[in-house]
Amino acid sequence: MTTLITNIGSLLTNDPELGTLTDAAIVLDGDQVAWVGAAAAAPDADERVDAEARAVIPGFVDSHSHMVFGGDRTAEFNARMSGKPYTAGGIRTTVAATRASSDEALERNLRRFIGEMLRQGTTTVEVKSGYGLTVEDEARALRIAAAHTPETTYLGAHVVAPEFADDPAAYVDLVTGPMLDACAPYARYVDVFCERGAFDGDQARAVLTAGAARGLTPRVHANQLTEGPGVQLAVELGAASADHCTHLSDADVKALADAHATTVATLLPGAEFSTRAVYPDARRLIDAGATVALSTDCNPGSSFTSSMPFCIAVAVRDMGMTPDEAVVAATLGGARALRRTDVGHLAVGARADLVLLDAPSHVHLAYRPGVPLVSAVWQGGARVC
């Protein structure tokens, strides 16, 4: 089954040779892109779609989310936005609700968010564990996630489990021992929240090296709330990404620039938006030469958005990115953060994941914030929205 999408006003390929094409067409064959070029030269196909001079982009690659959870945190958000002090219930509130949820309820929730993402153009998504914090609950979260995406991340080291509040070292032993054994079969990556109040540099190193020894690729929640060792550790261990990167020293920026081919700086503006915090400085990272990705961080506490277009608009408005840079970061950047070469771009042989926008250009994703511009979505060559 082949599909020709033609009369494309603007086709963002993210391919260094093709660039952005006008008056373009693309042919999908099975789950791959089979042809890209000028509409006038396009071959025939079984099915023909007229893009009506609108824009086509690669499907978004959302490389950081926490979508296996129970309950929500509406009251906490409402209190925070009402200027009231809120207690450090935080992640632990969601841990309790997640442990109390049935497998079916967790899966229903995950499906709902993946569906939301698809309708907003996200065709690849990473999902983390981290709201179970017991051997059984972490393995359960990853088993459920792995049924819906190959991009799963073991985050037993999200926070110290409440049962281990007085003995964090014992919790790190659990995370690097029996919990890792139970989770590794369902995970591709290992992650740790390296932050004051979560895990320090030594603990984070122990978690990441134990995961790497089991074949999991490291990624790090780094430098979100304060400057700390997270970014340097990510770079030193060859992590696929250092995520958040909100508070960076000059040495951190240089380390990410030097590691641009290995470790992606993944920026998560939904977190700063939802906590009224200062945004990361994307301009500083890009100008230094770092590879940057944008992602939603979709989670019930600090960033309850599933929308990549929203993140693009914020990144352009408040983080110094150009519209081109933001859309590339949300597609190719995310693919690089997941070490995927088949998604995030549109060239012959790439996976046929693409989005038709109700706009003449991908710039409209930032130019028209909050407007539902996703008109159609193909995932693996099949039209899904």
148 is in an annotated binding site: no
Query: Coil, helix or strand for 375?
Result: strand
What tokens were used for 296? 């939603």
232 is in an annotated binding site: no
Considering the complex, state which of residue 229 and residue 301 has its C-beta at the smaller distance from Zn ion. 301
367 is in an annotated binding site: no
What is the DSSP track for 55-87? EEEEPEEE--B-----S--HHHHHHHHTT----
CB of 86 to Zn ion, least distance (A): 19
What is the footprint of Zn ion within residues 291-320 (CB under 5 A)? 297
Considering the complex, state which of residue 195 and residue 297 has its C-beta at the smaller distance from Zn ion. 297
80 is in an annotated binding site: no
Based on the number of CB atoms within 10 Å of its own CB, is 106 exposed (0-12), middle (13-18) or buried (19 or more)? buried
Task: Give the nearest residue (CB) to Zn ion.
Answer: 297
* Separation of alpha carbons 329 and 127, rounded Å: 18
CB of 358 to Zn ion, least distance (A): 30
362 is in an annotated binding site: no
Considering the complex, state which of residue 24 and residue 242 has its C-beta at the smaller distance from Zn ion. 242
Binders of Zn ion: how many residues, by CB under 5 A?
Answer: 1
Considering the complex, state which of residue 70 and residue 300 has its C-beta at the smaller distance from Zn ion. 300
* Separation of alpha carbons 84 and 355, rounded Å: 41
Evaluate whether 223 touches 247 at the Cβ level (below 8 Å).
Answer: yes
**CA-CA-CA-CA torsion for 111, 115, 116, 118, nearest 10 degrees?**
140
- Taking residues 237 to 276 in sequence order and writing x for each that binds Zn ion by CB under 5 A, - otherwise, the string is ----------------------------------------
CB of 66 to Zn ion, least distance (A): 6
Considering the complex, state which of residue 131 and residue 171 has its C-beta at the smaller distance from Zn ion. 131
Establish how many alpha carbons lie within 13 A of residue 119's alpha carbon, considering only the half-sphere containing its beta carbon.
8
Based on the number of CB atoms within 10 Å of its own CB, is 373 exposed (0-12), middle (13-18) or buried (19 or more)? buried
200 is in an annotated binding site: no
CB of 352 to Zn ion, least distance (A): 29
Annotated binding-site positions: 64, 66, 73, 131, 158, 221, 224, 297, 299, 301-302
Applying CB under 5 A, which residues contact Zn ion? 297
